[in-house]
A and B are shown apart, each in its own frame.
Chain A
Amino acid sequence: GDSVTQMEGPVTLSEEAFLTINCTYTATGYPSLFWYVQYPGEGLQLLLKATKADDKGSNKGFEATYRKETTSFHLEKGSVQVSDSAVYFCALSRSPFRTGGGADGLTFGKGTHLIIQP
């Protein structure tokens, strides 16, 4: 079945460091890809998304490019801030054009806890 694998945390960085959180997926057809963020004490929020190959999603200085050839959607930010400390989830939604049809929910990775130190 479909699955999402993301790097294990916690990931600890200093402020202004470069961030990469790796995410790879297994899915049939052409899934849409998402990064969600969960700040301490808050609910899940969409950070960015990409719906087809080579699309780049971006928001709040974060970027991720949908790479079908490597089945990846790595999250990057050039200069992290303390306020970026949170848990980041990579997720995919199943294409209705896959065999069997139907509509399902999001498939999430296990999450990566990011800690930014001043």
Chain B
Amino acid sequence: DAGVTQSPTHLIKTRGQQVTLRCSPISGHKSVSWYQQVLGQGPQFIFQYYEKEERGRGNFPDRFSARQFPNYSSELNVNALLLGDSALYLCASSLGQVYQETQYFGPGTRLLVL
């Protein structure tokens, strides 16, 4: 079975632009979470979606938004990009909600903001 897939793998944007990142969960998984990993740090939680509804949000500004589609894939949108948004963006899927569940991570999208 395919694991979690993310696209694109790499992305270069300039300040002020908008970006959309995509994630396909493992087949049968209904929960998708997004994380931001800055170089040298642990991942920071951005959003969790379960059954197409937002179930959790981390401490990120409103420039960050996400949605989950009927097939459980997900998009993360970031508006008005800042230099500090440069990071590896990770998507993770799980069967149910996060507590006690194993989350399976994708390879990530590396975003560079110039």
A residues with CB within 8 A of B: 4, 32, 36, 42-46, 49, 51, 89, 91, 93-96, 102-111
Contacts and interface: CB of A to CB of B under 8 A. Distances in A.
B56 A104 contact: yes
B90 A105 contact: no
Contact of A103 (B42, B50, B108): B50
A73 to B, nearest CB: 14
Contact of A43 (B33, B55, B99, B105): B105
Given A32-B99, A102-B56, A103-B50, A43 B106 contact: yes
Contact of A105 (B98, B104, B106): B98
A102 B42 contact: no
Contact of B58 (A32, A42, A51, A104): A104
Contacts of B102: 46, 49
A45 B42 contact: no
Contacts, number: 73
A36 B102 CA distance: 10
Contacts of B33: 105-106
B48 interface: yes
Interface string B1-34: 0000000000000000000000000000000010
Please indicate which of the listed interface residues A44, A45, A51 has the most CB atoms of chain B within 10 Å of its own CB. Answer: A44
Contacts of A110: 40-42
A49 B104 CA distance: 13
Nearest to B104: A46
Given A102-B55, A104-B48, A108-B44, 12 more contacts: A4-B42, A43-B90, A43-B108, A46-B104, A91-B42, A93-B98, A93-B99, A94-B98, A105-B46, A106-B33, A109-B42, A110-B41
